[in-house]
Amino acid sequence: MSRKNILITGASSGLGRGMAIEFARMGRNLALCARRMERLEALQQELLAINPDIQVFIRSLDVDDHDQVFEVFNAFKQDMGQIDRIIVNAGMGKGASLGTGYFYANKQTAVTNFVSAIAQCEAAMTIFREQNNGHLVTISSISALRGARRALNVYAATKAGLSSLSEGLRIEMLGTPIKVSTVHPGFIRSEINEKVKKVPFIVDTDVGCRAMVKAIEKEGANSYVPPWPWAWMRWVLKLAPLSMLKKLS
């Protein structure tokens, strides 16, 4: 099924921006939201230059303002008439080891990556239930598979929660016209990790986003991207002893 009208949160940079570019090339109409309106405006012009036959709607949104999430999603619904796919992408990676004085950074990551994701899923599912159709996509992480230490501790926990939330929705929507997919990206270069120097198997943003969009288009339950090495590496991570996980994180 071709999903013509697509909404992406956290679209002003990184993976959200990269996915928007790929979908524009495919001729999809886009509803893009993020906090930084000036970046959205520049992206809107870039996308229309790539494909002048599409529509690109933009709105400012801080996903931690949960009432605003519903307002913006509903406004995009009015703009487009119908939303075929919503990609819950907005997130952050602040944090540090527990007990080292960075509670509020860890709390901010927990709220944005999980509580605010619930708000986005709630708003998306409200639209899809009314339409009796739609495709909800949540952007999790390969780190959701196992616990992680130090700065990734809370981040990994939030992504595990998001994957579980998505699976619960997927079970609930079985046999209906509403599909739920979860994408687990491996290490893809973006603003969230630009300061991290040593990362195994990392790929550039454009490579990673092409793999993500290809997986999203298949509408499978769970995908691990790029497929090499993460499609098989996930089994290694699931079985790895804690001593190995310590070396990897």
Predicted pLDDT of residue 190: 74
Predicted pLDDT of residue 191: 64
Predicted pLDDT of residue 243: 82
User: What whole-number distance in Å separates Cα of residue 48 and Cα of residue 101?
Assistant: 46
What is the CB-side half-sphere exposure of residue 109 using CA atoms within 13 A? 22
Predicted pLDDT of residue 245: 75
The CATH number assigned to the domain holding 89 equals: 3.40.50.720
Which residues in the chain show pLDDT less than 70?
Answer: 1, 191-199, 248-249
Predicted pLDDT of residue 192: 58
**What's the domain range around 18?**
5-248
Query: Concatenated DSSP letters for the chain?
Result: ----EEEEESTTSHHHHHHHHHHHHTT-EEEEEES-HHHHHHHHHHHHHH-TTS-EEEEE--TTSHHHHHHHHHHHHHHHS---EEEE---------TTSS-HHHHHHHHIIIIIHHHHHHHHHHHHHHHHT-EEEEEE--GGGGS---TTHHHHHHHHHHHHHHHHHHHHHTTTSSEEEEEEEE-SB-SGGGTT----TT-B-HHHHHHHHHHHHHHT-SEEEESHHHHHHHHHHHHH--HHHHHHH-
pTM of the prediction?
0.94
Q: What's the total number of domains in the chain?
A: 1
User: What whole-number distance in Å separates Cα of residue 198 and Cα of residue 111?
Assistant: 27
For residue 127, the tally of other CB atoms under 10 A from its CB is: 20
CB-CB contact of 142 with 186 (8 Å):
yes
Dihedral over alpha carbons 70, 72, 74, 79 (to 10 degrees):
-170
Catalytic residues: 155
Predicted pLDDT of residue 246: 76
